[in-house]
Homo-oligomer: A and B are copies of this chain.
Amino acid sequence: MTRDAHEARSRTGRRSGDSGSKVAILAAARLQFAEYGYDGTTIRGIAAAAGVDPALVHHFYGTKERLFAAATELPIVPSEAINAALASREPGRSLGTHLAYSALALWERADMRGAFQAMLRSALTSEQAAATLRDFIAEAILGPVASAAAGADAGNAAYRASLVATQMLGLAVGRYVLRFGPVAQASKEELAVAIGPAIDRYLTGDLGQAGRGH
């Protein structure tokens, strides 16, 4: 039996029951992420606060990252988007250039732009939102990026990924928030080829004598 048929069958209106549970789970998730941050929040804790079984939260959302994306109205799941970008590189294009272009294309998707900028602004104005976003970025975004860098220099992967994050974050703030003329007007391709080699160097290049030991 399909899930739809199963839901439609329910005598007590399972669809609206599901919908009520989803609303309760999302409301609980927003409160818990805001109060405990990304790392400090668990599926189990959200389920308890929403008065449902943890299995139902898993059934609806799968992972904490997907639940966070839903709670913050992010229309993508970042780790999945990054892994898709990492897997779709054309031959002859550097990883840095490809990642820069993929990020710009994602940020400029019609359904992403508002969500991304709202998240950026809220993180930049609230210490708690910043901490939550930092932990989320560290797990969902820097994790996959660090894996891409790890081949070259495993011990430094987290440092390398966070250097990549500084360049990509500054690109986003400069292009969408402050809107520096030439960077706001450049095409995605222009920016990708300008910034790509810096990303490549952060991922796998020589970071200088003082860069050792991370």
Contact = CB atoms under 8 A, between A and B. Distances in A.
A182 B170 contact: no
Interface in A158-214: 158-159, 162-163, 165-171, 173-175, 177-183, 186-187, 189-190, 192-198, 201-202, 207-211, 214
Given A121-B124, A125-B121, A183-B162, A178 B211 contact: no
A173 B180 contact: no
A40 to B, nearest CB: 16
Given A130-B177, A134-B180, A190 B170 contact: no
Nearest to A172: B170
Contacts of A70: none
A133 interface: yes
Given A180-B138, A193-B208, A174 B198 contact: no
A31 interface: no
* This chain's copy number in the assembly: 2
Given A125-B125, A167-B198, A194-B202, A159 B177 contact: no
26 contacts: A97-B208, A124-B177, A131-B179, A134-B179, A138-B180, A138-B181, A158-B182, A162-B180, A162-B181, A162-B183, A163-B183, A163-B194, A163-B195, A165-B170, A165-B174, A166-B170, A166-B183, A167-B198, A169-B174, A170-B174, A187-B210, A193-B211, A194-B202, A194-B207, A197-B201, A198-B201
